Amino acid sequence: MNAPQTRPSPSVNTGDTWQSPKHKRTVYLVLAIVGLSILFDGYDLVVYGAVLPNLIADPSQIGELTPAIAGTLGSYAMIGVMIGALSAGAVGDRLGRRKVMITAIIWFSIGMALTAFAQSIFMFGLLRFLTGLGVGMIVATGGAVIAEFAPRNRRNLFNAIVYSGVPAGGVMASVLALLLEDTIGWRGLFLIGASPLIFLLPMALLALPESPRWLVSRGRVEDAEALVVKHELPARQFLAVETTAPQQEKAAAPADEREKALQRTGFAALFSRAYLPGTILIGAMSFIGLLSTYGLNTWLPQIMQSNGVSADNSLYSLFALNGGAVLGGLFASWMADRVGAKKIITVTFLIAAICLFVLPIPLPAFVMYLLIGFAGIGVLGTQVLTYGLASNYYGTSARAAGVSWVAGFGRLGGIFGPLIGGLIISAGFGPSSAFYLFAGVAVIGSICTALIPRSPAEATVVITSHGDSPEEPALNKRDDQAPLNRS
């Protein structure tokens, strides 16, 4: 029998505290890598809108752009994000989180660089679509990485930090366009989007380890134990194996269905009988959240002008909406780590519905922007929490597929949101109808959230060295899912 390896004692850490400075440093480096990746994903998605007026005004850049063609080009990236996100789930649960993250960083960076040299509308659109594939891979895989490295009592907060990179990247794109577009042009702005290839890729290669929990789920226990020792990670958290729930929690599905779901990988697990109700409801949440997010971000200034607000002041509505999403989303995520994401998302959807329902009423400017900020918490901020809920609802073998489902299926809402807003405005129904529609959608989102059943997965500790017996009995506590699925 081989001698036992020296590794952190499972009794030292329960997933709520740092086991050592090296453990803390490793997790914060992972947080930085994923956060920067999603920051540049947000930059990529918004920089096109920032440079679009100049592309339309100057046909010598890539060709004659009509508003219809410009809108179609904008949708290509979104379609790429949807396909990339859905694909990353199946790939990530089989090949590993690290490989997908590194591939995605390379992919979208090269895509941005090549787009900077596009000379035709066709090539520009094709490269936007291909770049979107890499963006989708990052958005889908990032949540799985954070869920498997973050301390149990900070998973929602860490997810909120990294996914707030999407609106933060949009702000970065807008600011850099204002400051630099006259100097370096739109091509230079796209080259900035390719800069992760220079600094983020080396950082990921050096500091982003594979997930030990994923290794355990694939039967590579020795490799997982080696990473736990190398990075001084808590064995109780990182060498956990999922099994069926204890007897008192088996009402949601038969034991054999739970076992089958936990043994399956990727989308096969998501659409198994045990996971299917939660999969449908979580997908609906994401669809509704992104429908509201992209619908309001596209049409809110126009709706506000139709409601009597000046053109200049209407632009501040977007700052209020996104600012509320970032600040309020972080606070909501902090609360979700204490009372459960399901409760918080249900409430934030309802807050958004109330605020949107009240907005058509004539109000002082301060109150109006405050309501828009709270609405931002309920739509954009809620979407951040939805990624976190999904990444912890599914077991390790299906986690990347679960986040991919949220990111990919939700993008359909992102495509339909602007279309629905445009139809309402073009039909002449007025701003009140638009606000009431988005308010009603938020109510549906709250209902979907409240109906999500308890996850069939449960973490159980199995900590072994090669040839040894388990050192720790199974945990009775739902160590993996409890913070996300409390009722």
User: Could you give the angle at the alpha carbon of 97 between the alpha carbons of 332 and 466, nearest 5°?
Assistant: 115
Contact indicator for 155, 147 with CB cutoff of 8 Å: yes
DSSP code of residue 15: S
Nearest 10 degrees: Cα torsion 115, 120, 126, 129: 50
Whole-model pTM?
A: 0.69
| Pairing state between β 458-461 and 240-243 | antiparallel
pLDDT tens for each residue of the chain, 487 residues long? 444 444 444 434 444 578 888 999 999 999 999 999 999 987 887 787 777 777 878 888 898 877 667 767 777 887 888 888 888 866 777 788 899 999 999 999 999 999 999 999 999 999 999 998 998 899 888 878 888 888 877 777 787 788 878 777 877 887 788 788 889 999 999 999 999 999 999 999 999 999 888 888 888 888 888 988 998 888 887 886 655 444 444 444 455 555 555 556 667 778 888 888 888 999 998 898 888 877 776 667 667 766 677 655 665 776 777 777 777 777 887 788 788 888 888 999 999 999 988 888 877 878 888 888 888 888 777 777 887 788 778 877 777 778 778 877 887 887 777 677 667 766 777 667 878 888 898 999 999 999 998 877 654 444 444 444 334 434 444 444 444 444 3
What is the SS3 assignment for 478? coil
251 CB neighbour count, 10 Å cutoff: 10
Contact indicator for 288, 440 with CB cutoff of 8 Å: no
Q: To which residue do tokens 């990353």 refer?
A: 88
CATH 1.20.1250.20 fits 21-210, yes or no: yes
User: Could you give the angle at the alpha carbon of 180 between the alpha carbons of 177 and 183, nearest 5°?
Assistant: 135
Residues 169-199 as b or e (16 or more Cβ within 10 Å = b): bbbbbbebbeeebeeebbeebbbbbbebbee
Q: To which residue do tokens 């194996």 refer?
A: 241
d(CA 142, CA 108) in angstroms, rounded, equals 14
For the chain, the C-alpha Rg in angstroms (whole number) is 23
Closest by CA to 283, choosing from 166, 449, 162, is 449
Domain ranges of the chain: 21-210
Contact indicator for 145, 35 with CB cutoff of 8 Å: no
